[in-house]
Amino acid sequence: MLNFIDKSFSTKKTPQYRLSIQVDLDGFSFCVYDPAQKKHVVLRRMPADFSVAQELFPPKIAAIYNEVEWLLQPFASCSCIYSSKKNTLIPSSFYEKETLSTFLGFACPLDEMDEVHYKISDEAKAVAIFAVPNTLASQLYAYHHNICFFNQCIPLIEYALKQTRDIVVAVNISSRLVDIAICRGKKFTFYGSYSISNAMDVLYYVAFVVKQLGINPDYAHILLSGHVSHEVRQLLKANFQHLSLSGDAALPIAKEHIVKNHLLLNLHQCE
């Protein structure tokens, strides 16, 4: 369990703070950003099994909020990443709110309890469409009336677009997924989300996508974030010349925690 709290943090100042949440299959994480100081003052991860049926989400969320009661206080803004492969992107020119569910249904099977959300990215000239379980969304809406939902693709793509290198391959690894976003010449080129079970799967999908797009591995800058194991780093390092970890948040904690929570820590920039 990770539990960082800066000495400047005060539960009396929550209306001034930005709360970011991330829910994935094996945990609930959140961080608090203080705009006045331009720094994060809280970062915490709480293990929880969200690989269960959606009907079991509410008691798991309620237990977390019962343990950290100040999360129930009002915040200036609240954003939540729900990590899931149920996402797709369409060009902004195709955007029609009435057809978003249809586009997402073409890309992945949807459950009756899935809510369809979307985020327009002017930088990527695309619309991200994604599913969030209704049981999770309803529970968090009850706690945070101003909450906005995201898929992990959004902060990954926007982070890649902020880079100055010519060819950027941003790779984020979670417990069972690898997400890959590619930008060339500061223009969004590709995004994909793939199921994985080991480090070799990560190498396979990164190498496959790079080859399919005709990118010379010698010129691709790989930016790694998420659950980056030593094995993953060694495999990618052996196949790509330019490899670095995405961990630019200034926090007095181990680098590995910053890398692992990179998307969460940068979510406030996507609001």
CB burial string 8-40: b at 16+ within 10 A, e below: ebeeebbeebbbbbbbbeebbbbbbbbeeeeeb
pTM score? 0.94
Question: For the residues 163-172, what does the mean pLDDT come to?
Answer: 96
Give a yes or no: residue 222 inside a domain: yes
Nearest to 129 by CA among 112, 113, 115: 115
Q: pLDDT of 191-246, one tens digit each?
A: 999 999 999 999 999 999 999 999 999 999 999 999 999 999 999 999 999 999 98
The answer for residues whose C-beta is within 8 angstroms of residue 127's C-beta and 6 or more apart is 89, 90, 91, 92, 94, 95, 100, 118, 119, 120, 121
> Where in the sequence is the domain holding 182, given as residue range(s)?
162-267
Average pLDDT of the chain? 95
Give a yes or no: residue 105 inside a domain: no
Residue given tokens 């005709």 in the structure block: 214
Give a yes or no: residue 157 inside a domain: no
Give a yes or no: residue 104 inside a domain: no
| pLDDT tier at 28, thresholds 50, 70, 90 | very high
| pLDDT tier at 250, thresholds 50, 70, 90 | confident
How many whole angstroms separate alpha carbon 160 and alpha carbon 182?
Answer: 7
| pLDDT tier at 26, thresholds 50, 70, 90 | confident
Give a yes or no: residue 174 inside a domain: yes
Q: pLDDT of 59-97, one tens digit each?
A: 999 999 999 999 999 999 999 999 999 999 999 999 999
Number of domains in the chain: 1
Please say if the pLDDT value at position 103 is more than 80.
yes
Nearest to 78 by CA among 7, 143, 9, 151: 143
CATH number for 217: 3.30.420.260
Give a yes or no: residue 180 inside a domain: yes
Write the CA distances from 52 to 8, 27, 48, 60, 198, integer angstroms: 37, 12, 10, 10, 21
Give a yes or no: residue 209 inside a domain: yes
Write the CA distances from 199 to 25, 84, 97, 239, 255, integer angstroms: 18, 19, 38, 13, 20
DSSP conformation letters of 54-107? GGGHHHHHHHHHHHSGGGGS--SEEEEEE--S-EEEEEGGG--GGGHHHHHHHH
* pLDDT the model gives residue 249: 73
Give a yes or no: residue 219 inside a domain: yes
DSSP run (H or E) holding 166: none
